[in-house]
Structure 1
Amino acid sequence: MPAPDSAPSASESPYGEFLAELDEIQRHKWHLSESEGIDVGFERALNDWSRRHRTAWRRMRNELRHHLPSAVL
């Protein structure tokens, strides 16, 4: 069993990354819905965010983790 100080934090775990990405998609859904005046739905927001923002967002998170390993993302 790993020592508590060597265990990955929630933000470093795959589930933590999933939650962070989900939060970004929900935020994107809100912005899209506000700009269009309707609820665009999760699937459309997910597809739009993935196509437009995911690569840059993932790159930014990876760079921050590399440069600031103890940073909470």
Structure 2
Amino acid sequence: MTSQPITAQPGTPYGEFLAEQEEIQRLKWLASEREGHDIGFEYALNDWAKNHRAEWRSMRNQMLRQQD
């Protein structure tokens, strides 16, 4: 039995969760590179929620509406 990666459709709750998690991981990687050490997921999550989420969500919703 082989396991298949789980894929989720954009616009579904799970698909949006995965897209947001990917952006948080990207922020974590970039900030960790800049700082010279791993900043940790919790720090990246808080920074993301405070400084980036609202704008990303707005752009993401606009992109999803255009695809419909």
The TM-score with structure 2 as length reference comes to 0.84
Where does residue 67 of structure 2 map in the other structure?
68
Q: Which segments of structure 1 move beyond 6 Å, counting only runs of 4 or more?
A: none
Rg larger for: 1
Size of the aligned set, in residue pairs, is 61
Aligned partner of residue 29 in structure 2, secondary structure:
helix
Where does residue 31 of structure 1 map in the other structure?
30
List per-residue Cα deviations over 1:32-58 (Å, max 9, x = no partner). Answer: 100000100000000001111100000
Structure 2 alignment gaps of length 5 or more: 1-7
Structure 1 alignment gaps of length 5 or more: 1-8
The TM-score with structure 1 as length reference comes to 0.78
Say what the alpha-carbon RMSD is for the aligned residues. Answer: 1.1
